[in-house]
Amino acid sequence: MVFVKAQPGDTSDSLIRKFTRKVLSEGILQDLKKREFYQKPAEVRKEKKRELARRLRHPSRAYSRT
């Protein structure tokens, strides 16, 4: 669950920006889109296998988003 506490002097726009940034950083929207439609277990396994192969091909990309 995402919480954003208002600091003294924060405007409503700045709070919305903080909330949006936090939601994006925690990957909530990405997870929601992934769960929008049912995926068969075999499809989930294939996706994981493809992701692993992609990471092995490009190892530097896997750690660039820290």
22 occurs within a structural domain? yes
57 occurs within a structural domain? yes
Domain encompassing residue 39: 12-62
Number of domains in the chain: 1
> To 10 degrees, the CA torsion angle through 2, 29, 65, 18?
-40
In this structure, the number of other CB atoms found within 10 A of the CB of residue 10 comes to: 13
User: How confident is the model over 3-54, as pLDDT tens digits?
Assistant: 999 999 999 999 999 999 999 999 999 999 989 999 999 999 999 999 999 9
3 occurs within a structural domain? no
> How confident is the model at residue 59, as a pLDDT?
74
DSSP-derived letter for residue 66 is -
> How confident is the model at residue 1, as a pLDDT?
84
Choose among 36, 12, 16: nearest CA to 24.
16
pTM over 0.85: no
> How confident is the model at residue 58, as a pLDDT?
80
